């Protein structure tokens, strides 16, 4: 099927087809410009996450892919049943890192997906917090993270 016109609006691409039908597709913003930050491919960030009502526990973030401002990685929770969760996010030019845990890879009974993190790059640290809506109760939980770039 041939399409007549493609319009880009931010990260959304709208395709208008000859038959008068329209469809949308999400396109990841690509940038050939290097992003000047320390959240590099293969970097490892280790530290702690604290959850309301519990002691801080170890959290490790592995950055596996990078495309401009976007990244993909995995979070690992060694003391929570060796839980592994796929994550994806972005790094802003101002040094704000946001990422969401998307899918549990391992440890389905000890970790969950859906947490949304926002942190600031401070030297070799990511310092910030998270918010997650707990699936069974619907309660919103918040906590803090402090991760240091492993060297």
Give me the percent of the chain exceeding a pLDDT of 70.
Answer: 76
CA 65 from centroid of its chain's CA atoms: 11
pTM more than 0.85: no
Least confident of 39-48, 118-127, 135-144: 135-144
Least confident of 88-92, 97-101, 131-135: 131-135
DSSP per residue, 96-150: EEEEEEEEEEE-TTT--S--EEEEEEETTEEEEEEEEE-TTT--EEEEEEEEEE-
Q: Distance (Å, rounded) from C-alpha 63 to C-alpha 150?
A: 12
Q: Do residues 15 and 78 share a domain?
A: no
Least confident of 8-12, 60-64, 124-128: 8-12
Q: Distance (Å, rounded) from C-alpha 65 to C-alpha 90?
A: 11
Q: Distance (Å, rounded) from C-alpha 26 to C-alpha 14?
A: 9
Q: How confident is the model at residue 36 (pLDDT cuts 50, 70, 90)?
A: low
Give how many domains the chain has, as a whole number.
2
Q: Do residues 26 and 55 share a domain?
A: no
Q: Examine the pLDDT at 121 and tell me if it is beyond 50.
A: yes
Q: Examine the pLDDT at 2 and tell me if it is beyond 80.
A: no
Residue 85: predicted pLDDT: 97
Q: Examine the pLDDT at 108 and tell me if it is beyond 50.
A: yes
Cα 8 to Cα 25, 26, 27, 93, 97, distances in angstroms: 10, 10, 9, 22, 25
Q: Examine the pLDDT at 10 and tell me if it is beyond 60.
A: no
Q: Distance (Å, rounded) from C-alpha 151 to C-alpha 32?
A: 27
More confident call, 1 vs 113: 113
- Other CB atoms within a 10 A radius of the CB of residue 45 amount to 24
Q: Do residues 95 and 133 share a domain?
A: yes
Report the CATH number that the domain containing residue 98 is assigned in CATH. Answer: 2.40.128.30
Q: Examine the pLDDT at 27 and tell me if it is beyond 80.
A: no
Q: Do residues 60 and 93 share a domain?
A: yes
User: In this structure, is residue 88 part of a structural domain?
Assistant: yes
């Amino acid at each position: 099927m041939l399409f007549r016109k493609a319009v880009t609006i931010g990260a959304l691409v709208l395709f208008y087809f000859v038959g008068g039908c329209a469809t949308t597709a999400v396109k990841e913003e690509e940038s050939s410009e290097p992003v000047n930050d320390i959240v590099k491919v293969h970097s490892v960030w280790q530290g702690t996450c604290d959850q309301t009502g519990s002691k801080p526990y170890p959290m490790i973030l592995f950055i596996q892919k990078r495309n401009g401002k976007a990244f993909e990685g995995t979070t690992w929770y060694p003391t929570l049943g060796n839980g592994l969760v796929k994550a994806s996010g972005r790094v802003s030019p101002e040094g704000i890192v946001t990422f969401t845990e998307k899918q549990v890879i391992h440890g389905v009974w000890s970790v969950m997906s859906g947490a949304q993190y926002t942190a600031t790059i401070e030297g070799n640290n990511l310092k910030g917090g998270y918010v997650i809506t707990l699936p069974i109760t619907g309660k919103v939980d918040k906590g803090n993270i402090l991760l240091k770039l492993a060297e």
